[in-house]
Amino acid sequence: MGRYVIRRLLQMIPVFFGTTLLIFLMVNVMGDPIAGLCGDRQCDPATAAQLRSEFGLDKPVWQQYLTYMGNLFTGDFGTAFNGQKVTELMATAFPITIRLTIVAIVFEIVIGISLGVVTGLRRGRPVDTTVLILTLIVIAVPTFVTGLLLQLLLGVKWGIIKPSVSPDPTFDELLVPGLVLASVSLAYVTRLTRTSIAENARADYVRTAVAKGLPRRRVVVRHLLRNSLIPVVTFIGTDVGALMGGAIVTERIFNIHGVGYQLYQGILRQNSQTVVGFVTILVLVFLAANLIVDLLYAVLDPRIRYA
């Protein structure tokens, strides 16, 4: 196991440098950030030259990247065009988005897997058909429609929640935004769990466990569910980074100043330091989540061993 983890960590190094280089190049071709900083008016040539020199934009792209990576390993993610450190923006944005992501993941695990198990064991019955139709509707409806509808009904019309959350929201305030963020993924988890449960229910090891007289609860939990969770865990693990980086719509609807909000502002203002810094952290989240998922395979399936 130790050798496998070390090998995976070494494999992450070129992936990390490759993705950060690609992101850095893509951000730098979005446009002239100095022109975006000046707004609709054209920048004064002297002022533009001074700003490019101050932010290192007058150097070749490869030199900018090497300088950025060198500063990155010292904990310096650069400075936004408004003079604020990118690390300060991260310190305020990431805790909020992490809480929002935890709420969304809990909804996916609790509701998604539970519905998947119920429908998988009752395949073809009315409850199965009903859940399939509902999940298909959730997948088909855009997230911003779901968010605005819940905000209108629960926040404006019925007054159950606040239409927008506080600057430093608690888990209670993030329940509805977390449900909106997790809605599509929750539907996929339900359908994926249902399919996996229905297929493994006909497997030989399940029939053997039933023939041995084991209680139905133990057969489902210890044998059927454990082996059926591998594709579900894979989806949820890769979804962690997607939820953190893809919460732009949800955060805009509920006025949450998290990672999605900062990425949106950075792209809108062509603030390359902010965008590259936040996306670099999201790349690390993706890599760590994939490693954890691979290690969970051996926990869920005893046949999988990492030598």
- Would you give per-residue pLDDT tens digits along the chain (307 residues)? 677 778 878 888 888 888 888 888 877 766 666 665 665 566 667 766 776 777 666 777 778 788 888 888 888 887 776 677 888 888 989 999 999 999 999 999 999 999 999 998 888 889 989 999 999 999 998 888 988 999 998 888 888 888 888 888 888 889 999 999 999 999 999 999 999 998 888 888 788 888 888 888 888 887 788 788 888 888 888 888 788 877 888 888 898 888 888 888 887 777 777 888 888 888 888 888 888 888 877 777 666 665 5
Taken in order of first residue, the domains within the chain and their CATH numbers are 1-75+269-306 (no CATH), 92-260 (1.10.3720.10)
Q: In degrees rounded to 5, what are phi and psi of residue 85?
A: -65, 140
What is the 3-class SS of 148-193, one letter each residue? Answer: HHHHHHHHHHCCCCCCCCCCCCCCCCCHHHHHHHHHHHHHHHHHHH
pLDDT tens for each residue of 74-112? 888 877 766 778 888 889 899 999 999 999 999 999 999
pLDDT tens for each residue of 48-58? 677 677 766 67
- Rounded Cα distance between 80 and 98, Å, is 22
- Rounded Cα distance between 278 and 266, Å, is 10
Cα dihedral 165, 167, 169, 173, rounded to 10, equals -10
Q: Which string of DSSP letters, residue by residue, matches the chain? A: -HHHHHHHHHHHHHHHHHHHHHHHHHHHTS--HHHHHHTTSPPPHHHHHHHHHHTTTTS-HHHHHHHHHHHHTTT---B-TTS-BHHHHHHHHHHHHHHHHHHHHHHIIIIIHHHHHHHHHTTTSHHHHHHHHHHHHHHHS-HHHHHHHHIIIIIIIS-SS-SS--SS--TTTTHHHHHHHHHHHHHHHHHHHHHHHHHHTTSHHHHHHHHTT--HHHIIIIIIIHHHHHHHHHHHHHHHHHHHHS-HHHHHHTT--SHHHHHHHHHHTT-HHHHHHHHHHHHHHHHHHHHHHHHHHHHH-TT----
Q: What is the pLDDT, as a whole number, of residue 260?
A: 85
CB count in 10 Å sphere of residue 153: 12
* Cβ 200 vs Cβ 206: under 8 Å: yes
